[in-house]
Structure 1
């Protein structure tokens, strides 16, 4: 039986072929595509219309050989399964794509060694810029010069981040305004700058009111740690709990419900991040919303050399049904 013929790919449409079909020079097509040169509005419009009709797509390989740039931005995330980071990655990809470039995504899985290997891999591939969302324990010396770092503002090397300290302050003020005076804390990992800024911001507000968090527990992120807190600490010890991440807060709510306790009737719960879970859990979670689009815009501008300003992006208090005034 004769083998089926495998259809060959159609020949690639080049600038030279496109130029011949229009009756202009390849330089004219290139200038129209890159918005440069001294072309009349009529010529530019004619070329761009022909390009749109032809379905022509530029060769990034050829452009890289010509310009020495790959038109690619590397992005390293610490945990792609954390709902915060896919949203940030989507916004970064949108910003990079709008500039005619592409994103190469890598996941360090929260491991410093994997993060170092990802940085080395991206540099070896010649990406034009690297944006790094630092994993826990990252030190200044771990980040090569030129890498755009998204971390906590307390890291002098950080280029852009949420104002985590402000978010902690907003969370604590919300609970105090509701009349809570005995407040517990799920304070997150002690080796995380982000978690500890969120905790210190809240603690500063409580200390100004002559109060402190009781009980306070440090742990990794994750639903199971919130559930464990619910199992080990009686609601009678406090009337509200502030968790430095929504994953901890959601785990806490689930753990309380497993014990037959009600949120917020028996205990108010406050989170941080405003991930998709925050609205899906019952009751919906009061939390602090990060502005992922703004972080993405600033990070990409820095990566593209469009801005040199360090930014601490403001956050927003989102009040839902998991918090209520303290019951007398």
Structure 2
């Protein structure tokens, strides 16, 4: 084991497939997938549905109050008056506080990662209620404009009337975003579940070998809360040592050092006319894990 790293026992760590390190020899970035040992492929749970509803309601209310601050041209008079009140600023401060304490989606992204084992699914699932909530807020504002124009306004010139064009543009963009997310979500879930089934099958049927991480290269990329790496893995088979390249996704405080023990499962893919070799790399839970104690070096500048 190289370097003086921080060691811990992964045998007691029931969340390594959520917090990392997660390896993949055939996927990269947001499509790197994991599934906990003994767990079934991802399922949509009541808890996730509750978080979706809570997130949508939260962003709808926030959007109704805050959007007039950003789309301030041509507001309906009472909306313009409301947007300047002190309590709107107080609610905005509470939102900022909530953002840093419970996150923008009330833990939905982590719940989705725990279930589907993939950052891509988690990002789409967390984004959908946020955009849906903002679309609902924009819809309410457009209804306010419609109500305002349904009343006579004598003494006002046409150019003096509130103009909803910015809200119409924003609502169109939000509606397009919702449509894209609604179409993409089931596709990403199906792909993630297929990958999880392959992983579970390979654990049961694949040949198992012991190995180590011999090289870790930081890619200076971050997806969600995970930083990305290229790694070289060496494992010992019946015919000798074998080396493979794998992408790794992990949190910045769980970056393995060279010598980190892994298990390699080797088998074949299923489906299609030709079978191809599939290699699954996972932490070896029977060994002490050694992580880099300096997580600051893995910060990604945006």
TM-score, reference length from structure 1: 0.20
Which one scores higher on RCO, CA 8 angstroms, separation ≥ 6?
2
Identify, as 1 or 2, the structure richer in strand. Answer: 2
Identify, as 1 or 2, the structure richer in helix. Answer: 2
TM-score, reference length from structure 2: 0.22
